[in-house]
Every structure is written in structure tokens, then in C-alpha cells.
Amino acid sequence: MEKSNKVIILSLKGILAVILGYVTLRIVNLPRTNILSMIFENGLDSRGFPTTENSQIGFLVYIIIAGLLGAYVVGLFSKRNNWTLLLIFFGLLLINDIYSVLSPLVDQPVWVKVVIFITLPLQIWIGGILGMRTIKS
């Protein structure tokens, strides 16, 4: 009985970690349009998506930072070198990015979409390692 309780607690902790990572990503992304519109005055359309090359680069940097912070939070809950939660988080963000590229970001140039997908594994890897090392220090 004690072993099954431990498995349930670890599972709930993992689910909570992935949810908190995703919530962190969303909270960081909330002020994105306002921040980017202050930096690039005429670089965003009415939906808050970048229209110039400089605003597209700023947009990408912002979403990379948000992904790193989300992975960092998931990494905080992961045991050292246990990548299971981070792989689940990667899958969630991959689905999110596929939706974004096919729907709201459909008007963006191909290079923006490619950068989104190429940097996703790096966001998970770097943020996860930083999170796992923070909790062990």
C-alpha cells in the first residue's frame, strides 16, 4: 500500500510540474505584445504579431526566454538526470508550437517558423539542466 501511495504522489508531482511549467510560460508571454510594441513601435500588427524583421527577432527572443523559464520550472521538479517530465513538457510545447505555426503565425515568414521549431529542444535542454542543477545546489 505504501508503495502505491508513493507512485501516486510522484505522478501528481510530475503532473503539477508540467502544469506549472506551462503556466510559467503563459504568464511570461502575457505582457509580450505590450513589451514588444514599446520596443518596436510600428513592428506589430493589430493582433500583436511581428511585421518587421527586427520585431520578428524580438518576438523569437521573447518566446525562447519564455520556453527556457517554463523548462526551468519543470526541471526544478525533476530528479537529477530524469528527463521524463521534460520530455512530456517538450511534447506539450511541440503541440502548442504546431498549432501556433498553423493558425496565428500562418502569415509569418518560413524562417520564423523554422527558428521556433529548431530552438524548442534547446529551450527544454538548457532550461531543464538549469532547473535540475538549481534544486541540487
Give the integer Cα–Cα distance in Å for 29 and 137: 28
For residue range 54-90, list pLDDT tens digits in order. 999 999 999 999 999 999 999 998 877 689 999 999 9
How many angstroms separate the Cα of 19 from the Cα of each of 14, 27, 83, 121, 125?
A: 9, 12, 16, 18, 18
**Total length of the chain:** 137
Tell me, what's the pLDDT at 65?
A: 96
Asked if residue 137 has pLDDT above 60, the reply is: no
Q: What is the mean pLDDT of the chain?
A: 90
Q: How confident is the model at residue 1 (pLDDT cuts 50, 70, 90)?
A: low
User: Residues 26, 15, 114, CA angle at the centre, nearest 5°?
Assistant: 45
State the pTM of this model: 0.89
